[in-house]
Amino acid sequence: MTEHHHEAKAEIPTGFRWPGGRSVAVVLSIAYEVWSEGHVSGVGPMGNPLPPGIFDTNADSYGRYGARTGIRRLLRLIGHTGAPVDVFTSGALAERDPAQVKAIAAEGHGIVAHGYTQDAIPAKLTPDEDAENIRITTARLADITGNQPSGWISPRASPGRSTRALLARAGYRWHADDLDADLPYVERYSGHPLVSIPLGVELNDLAHGMRHGRTPRQFIEMFEDAVTNCLSDPDNPVVIDVLVHAHCYGRPASAWAFAEIARMSLAHDDLWLTTREQISNLVLAGEADAASGSSSRVRASFGP
């Protein structure tokens, strides 16, 4: 398979707004991840790496916290707010903890396919391995939830050269494997539209806390500053993407900060708190209307 990433990006015209005339959309996401046997999280609390060839039992235990404990705390706190959340879910969790995956879907949160395991990074796979990774991830999550996921984000947001074409063929409507824009755009593969909803990296707990040593309260302050400054520039609409990992910010000292950001977003009338599926639906509806020759603000934004 030799298909490469083909991008068809539409320019966003002056005057575009999110629903309700808003210029800022907010998406809240939880990474709910596991690794395959013998592989561990690449980020752990110890600063001194072990010698090559030594299995890092500390990083292994740190990574397992998310699926064992952290996901439940985050969802419990978010549940108190009523905010919608995208949950980036490893396909293997449909086998290891099907009741939890089913409960997430039943609560109305978005199950986003996140590869089979975190170490199955598409950029490292052959096209055939990539296709099988997508197939098994999709099948496992669909079997448990009753619905095929509409969206995908690769582990490490690192797709292979064929990943996007494979996702389009498999019936996916959107992905979050790009980091190159503030707003979504449409790609096409063999006539199939696939919405790219770029991933934000600034409001990410691993980068914020683990790598830079900033506090959960500073995480909230960073969100507040982003909202204030983005709202002050209404002619340039954006998506503010807040991502936490269940094995990092799912812990008692930090999970509250994610819930506080959810409460703030819900209370702020100038923000559109949404999900990536809702964004993709908006984009694809605009595409369909543009193809029919209609004109509206959304259609003008995302039409070909």
**pLDDT of 40 above 90:** no
Note the pTM of the prediction, 2 decimals.
0.89
Mean pLDDT of 9-30: 82
- If you average pLDDT over every residue of the chain, what do you get? 88
Cα gap 109→275, rounded to integer Å:
9
Cα gap 157→296, rounded to integer Å:
33
pLDDT at 38: 84
Higher pLDDT, residue 94 or 15: 94
- What's the pLDDT band for 157 if we cut at 50, 70, 90? very high
Chain segment 183-219, per-residue pLDDT in tens = 999 999 988 899 999 999 999 998 886 666 789 999 9
pLDDT at 8: 53
pLDDT at 1: 42
- Domain positions in the chain are 19-41+54-302
Q: Which CATH architecture has domain 19-41+54-302?
A: Alpha-Beta Barrel (3.20)
User: Are the C-beta atoms of residues 36 and 119 closer than 8 Å to each other?
Assistant: yes
**pLDDT of 15 above 90:** no
pLDDT at 304: 33
Mean pLDDT of 259-274: 97
Torsion 300-278-257-87 (CA) sign = negative
